[in-house]
Amino acid sequence: MKIKRVEHVAIAVTDMAKSMKMLEDTFGLKMELEEQRGATRLAMYPVGETYIELLDTQDSDSAIGKWIAEKGQSLFHLCFEVDDIEAALDELREKGVKLLDEVPRIGHGGAKIAFINPESTGDILIELAELAH
C-alpha cells in the first residue's frame, strides 16, 4: 500500500462555530469544504497539502458524540490518502489487521473511505481515503 500523505487530522469539537472562528481568526485559515452528513457537520481547512477537519454532532449516540462525552474536544482520527483503497484494505486483511469498514463507503467530498479498528493501531483511529477526482 502506498500512503500518499496525511490527508487530514480530524478534531471532534464541542462548538463548531467557535472552533471555526479560532482557526480563521488565530491562524488565518480559510475553510474549503463544509458538509452536513446526518447529524454530523464537518469543515475542512487546508494547511499545505493536509487538512484540519473539524467534526461536530447533534447525535450523542454517534461515534463522535460518544468520543466527546468521554474525552471532550480532542483529536479524533488521522486520515491517510491512498491510491487504491480496495487494494489497501486487501493488504491490511492479509496482514491480519482488523477493519471497522470491510468495504469502502462515501465520505468527505465524495472520497471512498474506510476506518481501521483501533485495536490494530495502538488505540488510534485511522481512516484511509481514496479521493474523488
Q: Which domains does the chain have, with CATH numbers?
A: 3-130 (3.10.180.10)
What does the DSSP 8-state code read for residue 58? S
Predicted pLDDT at 133? 74
Q: Which three cell numbers stand for residue 46?
A: 487546508
Span 76-86, mean pLDDT?
97
For residue 28, pLDDT over 90 is answered with yes
Cα separation, 97 vs 106, whole angstroms:
21
The CA-based dihedral angle spanning residues 6, 54, 62, 120, taken in that order and rounded to the nearest 10 degrees? 20
For residue 88, pLDDT over 90 is answered with yes
Element at 78 (helix H, strand E): strand 74-82
Q: Evaluate the CA torsion angle 21, 24, 26, 29 in order and state its sign.
A: positive
pTM for this structure?
0.92
Span 101-119, mean pLDDT?
96
